[in-house]
Structure 1
Amino acid sequence: MAFGKSKNRRHQDVAQKKAAMAGAVRAHGPGLLKAIVLTGLTCALLWGGIELRRWALTSPFFLLKETSFSGLHRAHPGELLKLSGLTVGQNLWTLDVDSLERAMATHPWVRDVAVRRHFPASVSVEVSEHAPVALVVLNDLYLLNEEGKPFKRLQPEDGLDLPLVTGVDREAYLADEAKAHESLLEALAMVAAYTSARPGKSERLSEVRVADDGLVLVLSDGTQVRMGEGAMEEKLQRLARVREGLKGKGLSAEVIHLDNRARPGWVAVKISSPVSERNGTSAQ
């Protein structure tokens, strides 16, 4: 009898274990299956990503075939390509756009540059160049842009005829760049204001001299105009009236003073000597 009871107990234990396992499967089976499926999908995605990356980096489909440029006037495409090392046959996915932009921006005429990839096989380069508005003497001659930045040493092939800014030497510029930049901006403002009046050929602005007591203009006919400081628009209008009056009388000025601080409305003019007097001869 004892033997029969032990056998029944074993059957009961087995049945209970089976029931417990069935319950666990019912309770946790869906979650476990989901975890297995997600793990499989993750592995598949990782493998697929690796293979896709390998294909993208090696496929001839993404090799550079064409580079287009816009905004170029002084710089040349070949120069920018040489600086950047960008060549046909490079993989677009491996291009470091930031590095390409920094390299091209070292060209003296380039102010800003934006490089864009156009998949599958082309690159566009949009360039904004410096616009020279004057020359400045800093030991050598440099081109000045409209922001008062000397951006390039003047070369004979540049072929530019621009007003000259003097009175700010290289040492002063290096010692106090902020102060020198302020003086350059003041000179450029004068250049812009004067040229906007569209002067005649003989009245074109040749030089703007930065002096301790203000700006001095030198016109293409040799006339010096001492502007002093402040009220530049009014002084330019006064200068136009004075030159028109002199022209009507057949006279020309050697120096025109518009820098009287005590009496800002006054104008003093030193009349040029006739050619015969300057050469020490008598008029016929």
Structure 2
Amino acid sequence: MGTREALSSNQPRKNRPLKRGDALGRTEKLRKASPIRRVVVGSLLAGLIVVVMIGGRTAIRSVNEWTKIQQITIVGLERLSREEITEKLNLPSDSSLWSIDMDHLKGQLETHPWIRAVTFDRVLPHSLIVQVEERQPAALLRASKTTYFLDEEGHLLPGETTKAGEALPVLEGMTSKFFSQHKDESHRRAKQGIHLAELLSERFPGRPTVNVAHAHTTIVDLPSFRFQFGQEADRQWERFLVLYPTVKDTIERKSQEVDLRFSQKVILRKRTL
């Protein structure tokens, strides 16, 4: 008997099952502890976020102070003045190289009719370089009692025309009001008129005058010739160049009107006006 008791006492005791009351007590303690734990963890996270935000703001403030804009260099100006550009930029006195919105500034400057494109360069620690590409006059527009410059894309350039414009081709048939009310169409007509004036100037002497009053017909007047083009002007001009060697003497001997508006035809007639 003693041996059996000794053997049984050396064997591991089996875990006794928890009583129902004990299990409920532990669950209740965990439930009470969970809200407290959540509050503590939430407070720690909130504190960490505040610290990060304060540190981030301090870092941003330091960077802005270190890169505060003290010098603005503007290059590419011919007609426009530095004052016009800085007025359009309208930068606050505390602007830094990293606080400014380049796209916004670019949009502001490119609303100026004489500005074609703008680029910016940051030069640490305090310099901003503004590269301006101005539109270049390619023709004159005679509109009512006022004459304007036009660039090669057909944009109306306000302001006083200079003596440099005396050698440029002249466009007629559109007003400044037409440009403001029919932007795309006015650009298309002006662009085509300038293009045709350039083509004819390469072949014939004299200053071209181009009538763009009609949507589908462009009339180019030179001292001794008048050309009428339709919608496919480039193709019509190529057709004329093929025929030109055979009619060159006739055209150059007397004032002629060359009508290229009709398909597969080159019509020559005596110029009346």
What is the TM-score when the length of structure 1 is the normalising length?
0.62
Identity %: 20
Summarize deviations over 1:225-260 as a string: whole Å, max 9, x none: 132535534654576688877876995433333358
Q: Deviations over 1:187-227 (max 9, x none)?
A: 234234335xx336x3x4421123558332222xx123132
Whole-angstrom distance in 2 between the partners of 1:107 and 1:34: 56
Between the aligned partners of 1:37 and 1:101, the Cα distance in structure 2 is 44
Q: Which moved more, 1:229-238 or 1:206-215?
A: 229-238
Q: C-alpha distance in 1, partners of 2:72/2:130?
A: 7
Q: Provide the residue aligned with 1:152 in structure 2.
A: 158
Describe the SS at the equivalent of 2:196.
Answer: helix
Letter aligned with residue 257 of structure 2:
I
Counterparts of 2:105 and 2:98, CA distance in 1: 13
Shift of 1:67: 2.9
Label 1:260 to 1:129 Cα distance change in 2 as closer, same or farther (>3 A). closer
Q: Give, in whole Å, the separation in 2 of the partners of 1:37 and 1:154.
A: 68
Give the structure 2 partner of residue 225 of structure 1.
226
Question: How far apart, CA to CA, are the structure 2 residues paired with 1:180 and 1:113?
Answer: 24
1:185 Cα deviation (Å)?
3.7
- The one-letter code of the counterpart of 1:144 is L
Equivalent residue for 1:167?
Answer: 173
Q: CA deviation at 1:130?
A: 2.2
Q: Report 1:228-247 matches (<5 A).
A: 228-230=229-231, 232-233=233-234, 236=237
What residue ranges of structure 2 are gaps of 5+ in the alignment?
1-21
Correspondence for 2:50: 43
1:190 aligns with 2:196: yes
Structure 2 equivalent of residue 209 of structure 1: 211
Question: What's the C-alpha RMSD, in Å, of the aligned pairs?
Answer: 4.5
TM superposition shift of 1:134: 1.8
Q: What is the number of residues matched between the two proteins?
A: 246
Question: Structure 1: how far apart are the matches of 2:114 and 2:239?
Answer: 38
2:105 to 100, 104, 109: 100
- Are the counterparts in 2 of residues 136 and 165 from structure 1 also a CA contact under 8 Å? yes
Flag structure 1 segments of 5+ consecutive residues without an equivalent.
Answer: 1-15, 272-284
Bigger CA drift: 121-130 or 64-73?
64-73
Question: Contact 1:66/1:122 (CA < 8 Å) preserved in 2?
Answer: yes
Aligned to 2:8: none
Distance between the aligned counterparts of 1:232 and 1:250, measured in 2? 20
Distance 1:159-1:34 versus aligned 2 partners, 3 A rule: same
Question: What is the TM-score when the length of structure 2 is the normalising length?
Answer: 0.64
Contact 2:140 2:165 in 1 (8 A): no
Q: Distance in 1 between matches of 2:245 and 2:67?
A: 68
**Higher mean displacement: 150-159 or 171-180:** 171-180
Separation in 1 of the partners of 2:117 and 2:47?
Answer: 49
CA apart distance, 1:63: 2.0
Matches of 1:102 and 1:260, distance apart in 2? 41
> How far apart are residue 110 of structure 1 and its match?
0.5
